Amino acid sequence: MKIPFAVVSARSLSAGALAVSLLLSSCATPPAPPVEQKKQAFKMHDWRGDSVPGKASVVIYLDKQKALFYRDDRIVGWTYVATGISSHPTPTGSFKILEKVVDKHSNLYGKLLDAEGKVVDGDFDTRKKPVPEGHTFSPSHMPLFMRMTNDGVGMHVGRIPRPGRVASHGCIRLPRLMAQKFFSNVQIGTPVEVRAETPPELADLNLDAPPKPAKKKWSLFGRSEN
């Protein structure tokens, strides 16, 4: 039986088109694999203030648990801090550095030790109860203390167990490296502001960007005095 030429031609064209399609698909560049987004490493602090001139000041934001170090209107360092818990809140307001003590010990808070030197109370407050007979009071160590109030609130080296959350008896705890930087760069009289909330202008501040002068009242890395 003879197959009509038109049918043969249609079949041939169809087969040819299929072959060309397969050839083109085999030569096509495969799609690039999706780029895996790397998680940004957590940063506890950053300091870029060495040899930067200008008037020093510190601003602490309780809601973010962060302290910012300024030279004039430039942020040259920042760090997570740990401020006071609800029963011992860190006071807000404007303060100044009143005293700098390299090796400070608290006369209020510490540990209560028994006769064998074992800790029986890790959060002992000398104002609430006297030291029992046969026991010893071991005061809390507060290295690189920078006093801000007459009743003992200040910045110093201390544990920050959960960055972003409160933990202290009212003082502002700093990581050791940043306490060293702050201690070296403040003087008696350096202004310190403690604010309850971070202003909207600073809410999304890129603290990893290099410091630069402010061009307006609140800029990426600067502020004006108020």
Q: Which residues are marked as active site?
A: 156, 171
Half-sphere exposure of 171 (CA within 13 A, CB side): 27
3-state helix, strand, coil in the chain (%, to 5): 15, 35, 50
Cα(14)–Cα(20) distance, rounded to whole angstroms?
Answer: 10
The length of the chain is 226
Closest to 81 measured CA to CA, from 21, 183, 171 = 171
Q: What does 6-17 look like in DSSP terms, one character per residue? A: HHHHHHHHHHHH
Bridge partners (DSSP) of residue 200 are: none
Amino acid at 84: G
